[in-house]
């Protein structure tokens, strides 16, 4: 391998090309304490070459204290940056010619070549946009017979890990995808999608249900014999077009052409299914899919027709579409047009082991699918997933799958590579390491893992590296069967695949790491951020995380104090560290509320036999759809939950696991409710109760009719019972016969608060 300044390789494959050198001789480009003898020459007037020269100048000065001048030409020894298309836009060649060092490459290649020199021969490490390690050296030198040609494994290399989308840092990692903020000085992105359409789930943009559904339901998918929008479709796009309807083809094609006209220089335009599985089941669509033995049949035939018309007007445009979920299997008969790019998505797979190694059924099927699409196109775009999207901060032991997957993608001729991560915040579980490793392997997936891990841990965590590495190694050594215990990108925190005892033990590793860098403020911040993953998991797993206290023995809830400690750490770190807990906005809000409630209401002193819980502390399902949190002067604290009359679902909830109560003791629950009645209408106003999930039965409930409801807010007794974890209080608008065409007897129902009180007053009575 490359060791120090001695390039001892005789012929090691590097990015698919051979690099050569010999031991013992070197070309010294700058030496500490001596005047500059080399200049940096940029003959071509190109922003990316000029920027490459400036980066070389800047970092050589940091390395050895010598500033190399930048010139248009010189007769003196020089580092010469030269533009050539010989190695493609991203490839480069580093070679020594007598006393000159040549860096030759394309629009991004020269810049990448400059970074290769600084990283490999200068020992510089770019580990995060805010953390670069530049060693102090006596000299900057390269092998005297250096000849190193590198070309990337993938034409497009992109990730959505937030830090790696920042332009300067992305360029230093040799990422060239359109999600990074790459400007002309970085060589720009390799490609980009039209601004008005985006890269995925575009059917609702191209055929908006709000515009067309009312007058033309036949434009949309038939499901179970009906053309109907799924519940919440206006918010989430829960529908698909009917892809065999000629009017749908006409409208979408026209809208695609208009979008291209508005942004004609993009090159790529997405025409793809919405993010749901509601493909059309009408007889015509079904016949096509059956003939093609895949739901991709209707998708590919439709997109081919759009692409054929687009080519008449824009012959260089590429139309991208998804091979995703129900359309992942390639069609049996129809082939993609030459101007159609499929984007194959691995969302259902096991990510603990490489796709072609895991025995999980979805992985086995994915291997078949990628080979099928490879036979159809030379422009395969792969959308891969690299984190837990439900819980960004939870441990996600997928590192030993990352390299194997990228090798598999390369070997199956993927050209465009996207590794999706946390695009909302920083410092998710090993976020910095994932982005760095993925970038390295998207350039060359044959780079050995262990040297890369060692380099990152030492460079990013400093003296804490051994302790953090111990946690990392033990996490990945936890046993997991790839068939029965596969690693999903939505794995719940409560999963037993990673035992709580491990995270309890891991706290000690992170504490040791903190102690090791107590005098290093930079690495101390990295350790503080890394340790939050364990704090997040333990907070979520603690069964005694209580926010409502109605107990005579608060001292028995021993983990509550620890829970408050974790909550404070996570909340205090969230804003300055730009933390995001989940991809889901609703889950993000709920988790933050859990943290805030834990601090506001946890670990009280004294005894409570009765407690009121305001509506603001109760969970509401689908805010904006089933109901909403609203202001109301008639409530005791000025807020309420208003439930709409469009449904009768159990929409308000309080889990007994969040209530500190005394076991084997009876409690009473009641609710303060206001009913807004429909004039001259009789029926059920609301229903409420307590449900036992493990026992699958109710513990008590009430069903109140409109004629029994007075004006304004009134207290209603719900039930008396013995609480247990696994139970929850629920509240909903009154029932009515939807199928029979009935409507609700109320305009709305409002909940101010609930009260939980101990029935027995004597100590120890049952």
pTM, entire model = 0.85
**Considering 129, 151, 173, which residue would you say is the last residue of a domain?**
151
Residue 391 lies in a domain: no
pLDDT tens for 557-580 read 878 888 989 999 999 999 999 999
Taking 80 as the threshold, does the pLDDT of residue 56 lie above it?
yes
Taking 90 as the threshold, does the pLDDT of residue 183 lie above it?
yes
Residue 183 lies in a domain: no
Domain count across the chain:
2
Residue the block writes with tokens 């036979």 = 375
pLDDT tens for 129-157 read 999 999 999 999 999 999 999 999 999 99
pLDDT tens for 434-449 read 999 999 999 999 999 9
Over residues 539-553, the mean pLDDT reads 87
> pLDDT band at 762, cuts 50/70/90?
low
CA angle 485, 491, 496 (to 5 degrees): 55
Question: Using CA atoms, how far apart are residues 20 and 142, in angstroms rounded to an integer?
Answer: 12
Question: Using CA atoms, how far apart are residues 469 and 461, in angstroms rounded to an integer?
Answer: 10
Residue 742 lies in a domain: yes
Range from 225-229, 357-361, 728-732 carrying the lowest mean pLDDT = 225-229
CATH of the domain at 31: 3.30.379.10
> pLDDT band at 761, cuts 50/70/90?
low
**Considering 113, 130, 151, which residue would you say is the last residue of a domain?**
151
- Check residue 24 and give its pLDDT: 53
Burial 66-104 (b: 16+ CB within 10 A, else e): bebebeeeeeebbbbbbbbeebbbbbbbbbbeeebbbbb
CATH of the domain at 643: 2.60.120.260
- Check residue 542 and give its pLDDT: 86
- Check residue 15 and give its pLDDT: 38
Residue pair 113/159 in contact (Cβ under 8 Å)? The answer is no
Residue pair 486/358 in contact (Cβ under 8 Å)? The answer is yes
> pLDDT band at 45, cuts 50/70/90?
confident
Residue 133 lies in a domain: yes
Residue 110 lies in a domain: yes
Helix (H) or strand (E) holding 50: helix 47-64
Residue 452 lies in a domain: no
Taking 80 as the threshold, does the pLDDT of residue 323 lie above it?
yes
Taking 60 as the threshold, does the pLDDT of residue 219 lie above it?
yes
> pLDDT band at 16, cuts 50/70/90?
very low
Residue 544: partners with Cβ closer than 8 Å, 6 or more residues away? 557, 558, 559, 560, 563, 660
- Check residue 14 and give its pLDDT: 36
Q: Beta-carbon neighbour count of residue 320 at 10 Å?
A: 25
pLDDT tens for 638-696 read 999 999 999 999 999 999 989 999 999 999 999 999 999 999 889 999 999 999 999 99
- Check residue 604 and give its pLDDT: 75
pLDDT tens for 336-365 read 999 999 999 999 999 999 999 999 999 999
- Check residue 231 and give its pLDDT: 56
Residue 729 lies in a domain: yes
Residue pair 584/527 in contact (Cβ under 8 Å)? The answer is no
Provide the percentage of residues in the chain whose pLDDT is more than 90: 85
Over residues 208-219, the mean pLDDT reads 94
Strand partners, 731: 652, 688
Over residues 171-199, the mean pLDDT reads 93
In the Cβ-directed half-sphere of 369, how many Cα atoms lie within 13 Å? Answer: 27
Over residues 162-190, the mean pLDDT reads 97
Question: Using CA atoms, how far apart are residues 738 and 648, in angstroms rounded to an integer?
Answer: 10
Residue pair 704/724 in contact (Cβ under 8 Å)? The answer is no
State which residues form the domain around 14. 2-151
Taking 50 as the threshold, does the pLDDT of residue 229 lie above it?
yes
pLDDT tens for 372-427 read 999 999 999 999 999 999 999 999 999 999 999 999 999 999 999 999 999 999 99
Nearest by Cα to 90 from 31, 15, 151, 171: 151
Question: Using CA atoms, how far apart are residues 88 and 107, in angstroms rounded to an integer?
Answer: 9
**Considering 124, 151, 178, which residue would you say is the last residue of a domain?**
151
Over residues 97-122, the mean pLDDT reads 97
- Check residue 763 and give its pLDDT: 47
Nearest by Cα to 155 from 191, 198, 107, 200: 191
Residue pair 229/220 in contact (Cβ under 8 Å)? The answer is yes
Over residues 267-292, the mean pLDDT reads 96
Taking 50 as the threshold, does the pLDDT of residue 160 lie above it?
yes
Residue 639 lies in a domain: yes
Mean pLDDT, all residues of the chain: 92
> pLDDT band at 21, cuts 50/70/90?
very low
Residue pair 747/677 in contact (Cβ under 8 Å)? The answer is yes
Most distant CA pair in the chain, distance: 100
Question: Using CA atoms, how far apart are residues 730 and 13, in angstroms rounded to an integer?
Answer: 63
- Check residue 13 and give its pLDDT: 31
């Amino acid at each position: 391998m490359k060791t120090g300044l001695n390039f001892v390789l005789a012929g090691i494959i590097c990015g698919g090309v051979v690099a050569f050198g010999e031991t013992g001789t070197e070309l010294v480009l700058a030496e500490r304490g001596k005047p500059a003898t080399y200049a940096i020459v940029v003959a071509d007037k190109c922003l990316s070459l000029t920027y490459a020269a400036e980066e070389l100048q800047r970092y050589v000065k940091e390395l050895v204290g010598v500033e190399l001048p930048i010139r248009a030409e010189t007769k003196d020894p020089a580092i010469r940056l030269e533009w050539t298309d010989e190695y493609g836009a991203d490839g480069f060649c580093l070679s020594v010619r007598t006393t000159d060092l040549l860096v030759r490459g394309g629009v991004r290649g020269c810049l990448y070549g400059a970074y290769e020199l600084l990283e490999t021969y200068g020992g510089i490490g770019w580990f995060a946009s805010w953390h670069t390690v530049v060693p102090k050296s006596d000299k900057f030198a390269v092998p005297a017979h250096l000849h190193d040609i590198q070309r990337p494994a993938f034409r497009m290399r992109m990730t959505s890990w937030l830090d790696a989308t920042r332009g300067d840092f992305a360029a230093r990692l040799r990422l060239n995808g359109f999600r990074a903020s790459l400007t002309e000085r970085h060589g720009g992105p390799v490609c980009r999608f039209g601004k008005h359409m985006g890269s995925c789930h575009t059917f609702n943009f191209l055929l908006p249900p709000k515009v067309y559904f009312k007058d033309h339901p036949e434009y949309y998918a038939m499901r179970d014999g009906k053309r109907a929008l799924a519940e919440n479709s206006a918010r989430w796009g829960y529908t698909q077009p009917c892809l065999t309807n000629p009017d749908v083809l006409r409208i979408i094609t026209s809208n695609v052409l208009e979008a291209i006209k508005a942004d004609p220089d993009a090159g790529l335009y997405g025409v793809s299914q919405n993010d749901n599985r509601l493909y059309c089941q009408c007889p015509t669509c079904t016949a096509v899919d059956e003939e093609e033995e895949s739901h991709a049949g209707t998708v590919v035939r439709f997109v081919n027709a759009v692409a054929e018309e687009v080519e008449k007007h824009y012959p260089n445009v590429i139309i991208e579409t998804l091979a995703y979920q129900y359309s992942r299997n390639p069609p049996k008969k129809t082939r993609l047009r030459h101007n159609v790019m499929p984007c194959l998505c691995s969302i259902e797979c096991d990510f603990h082991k490489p796709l072609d190694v895991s025995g999980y059924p979805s992985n086995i099927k994915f291997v078949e699918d990628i080979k099928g699409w490879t036979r159809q196109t030379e422009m395969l775009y792969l959308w891969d997933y690299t984190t837990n999207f439900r819980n960004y901060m939870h441990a996600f032991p997928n590192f030993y799958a990352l390299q194997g997957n990228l090798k598999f993608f390369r070997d199956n001729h993927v050209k465009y590579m996207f590794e999706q991560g946390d695009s909302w915040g920083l410092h998710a579980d090993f976020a910095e390491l994932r982005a760095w490793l993925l970038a390295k392997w998207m350039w060359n997936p044959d780079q050995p893992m262990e040297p890369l891990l060692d380099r990152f841990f030492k460079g990013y965590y400093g003296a804490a590296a051994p302790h953090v590495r111990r946690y990392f190694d033990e996490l990945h050594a936890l046993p997991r069967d790839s068939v029965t215990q596969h690693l999903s990108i939505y794995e719940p925190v409560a999963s037993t695949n990673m035992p709580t005892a491990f995270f309890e033990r891991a706290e000690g590793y992170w504490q040791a790491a903190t102690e090791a860098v107590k005098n290093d403020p930079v690495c101390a911040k990295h350790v503080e951020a890394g340790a939050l993953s364990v704090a997040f998991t333990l907070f979520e797993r603690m069964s005694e995380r209580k926010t409502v206290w109605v107990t005579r023995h608060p001292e028995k809830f021993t983990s509550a104090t620890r829970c408050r400690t974790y909550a404070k750490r996570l909340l205090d770190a969230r804003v300055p560290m730009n933390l995001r807990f989940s991809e889901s906005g609703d889950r993000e809000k709920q988790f933050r509320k859990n943290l805030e409630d834990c601090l506001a209401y946890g670990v009280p002193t004294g005894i409570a036999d009765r407690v009121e819980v305001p509506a603001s502390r109760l969970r509401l399902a689908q805010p904006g759809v089933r109901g909403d949190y609203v202001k109301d002067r008639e409530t005791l604290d000025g807020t309420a939950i208003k439930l709409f009359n469009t449904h009768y679902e159990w929409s308000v909830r309080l889990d007994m696991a969040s209530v500190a109560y005394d076991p084997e003791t009876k409690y009473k629950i009641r609710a303060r409710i206001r009913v807004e009645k429909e004039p001259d209408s009789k029926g059920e106003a609301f229903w409420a109760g307590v449900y036992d999930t493990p026992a699958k039965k109710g513990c008590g409930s009430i069903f109140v009719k409109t004629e029994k409801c007075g004006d304004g807010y009134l207290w209603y007794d719900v039930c008396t019972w013995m609480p247990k974890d696994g139970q929850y209080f629920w509240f909903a608008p009154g029932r009515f016969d939807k199928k029979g065409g009935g409507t609700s007897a109320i305009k709305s129902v409002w909940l101010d608060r609930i009260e939980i009180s101990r029935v027995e007053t004597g100590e120890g009575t049952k």
